[in-house]
Amino acid sequence: MSTKQALVTGGAGFIGSHVAQALLRAGYAVRTIDNFSTGNRGNLASIHGDIELIEGDIRSYERTHRATRGVDVVIHLAALPSVPRSVQDPLTTNDVNVTGTLNVVLAARDAGVKRVVFASSSSVYGRNDALPKQETLVPMPISPYGVSKLAAEQYCMGFSAVYGIEAVALRYFNVFGPRQDPASQYSGVIPRFLTRAAKGEPLVIFGDGSQSRDFTYVENVVNATMAAARVPLDGSLVCNIGCGSRHTLDDLAEAAKRVTGRDVPIEYAAPRTGDVMHSFADITLAREKLEYHPSVALDEGLEQTLEWLQAAAWRT
């Protein structure tokens, strides 16, 4: 039996590098494409000799088409992340996340790829206040980032309907874990909180701290993504990937203090434009279709992330 070939777009990124490792462990031949705008070569250091790396931008159809040749499944993780960045520069966010995704699914169609797994986002729900978030809710994104993810998701679904590509869109909820860059101004709240707490610095919350999120450790997301690459599928699927629980930012700040052992103060700042108030995943569909069961809860994930942050700081 021939080895299956997988392409990971954004393979040098935080989530992408973890997925590439998991694919290798599962016996896939792995190819990645990354332009290293947000990805890091160091994320692939342990596997660089075992994968094929194409340096390129998904906004280039030529590079993307080259990357998809001979591939059985595309796991499309390349994106320009961050709500605040999209508010500052919506044009580039659209160019990468929407036009780039169109290039990926078009190249997949032209290369005869059977399945595309797309990293969508809980941000597509936006101002829809219903909780928990179910896939049947009407999307109401309130940031350019959320709009771009919804548009890209719809391209995947449209290509499935018209061209017969099997498309899975996974709406990730607030992913965190090792390799998430704490130094980036667009970094997620967890690496910021852990880094600042460990240094004895105040934790800054944008808003009153009552806003809540379904924080999801990266291992859970990788397991769901791997399942989406191989489960039997007839057509397309859109499903949430979270933990099915939620914590306020005040709760998270206290957890960061507890894990680091530092009793640092909490400071509150004005809410950020484009941020939703509450995010909480209904993961029933993922359990049914992907046999997805999150295995790492918040505190365990925080401890593992802190260990990585401390090791990374020591190495630098």
39, 243 contact by CB (below 8 A): no
Q: What are phi and psi of 135, to 5 degrees?
A: -65, -20
32, 7 contact by CB (below 8 A): yes
Q: How far is CA 294 from CA 56, 208, 297, in A?
A: 33, 29, 8
> Which residues are catalytic, by number?
145
Q: What are phi and psi of 65, to 5 degrees?
A: -65, -40
CA torsion 126-242-39-178 (nearest 10°) is 130
What is the C-alpha to C-alpha distance for residues 302 and 314, in angstroms, rounded to an integer?
Answer: 18
177, 241 contact by CB (below 8 A): no
Handedness of CA 53, 54, 59, 63 (dihedral sign): negative
Pairing of strands 52-55, 73-76: unpaired
Cα–Cα–Cα angle for 266, 186, 203, rounded to 5 degrees: 10
Report helix, strand or coil for 117. Answer: strand
Q: Which of 24, 153, 27, 6 is nearest to 79 (CA)?
A: 153
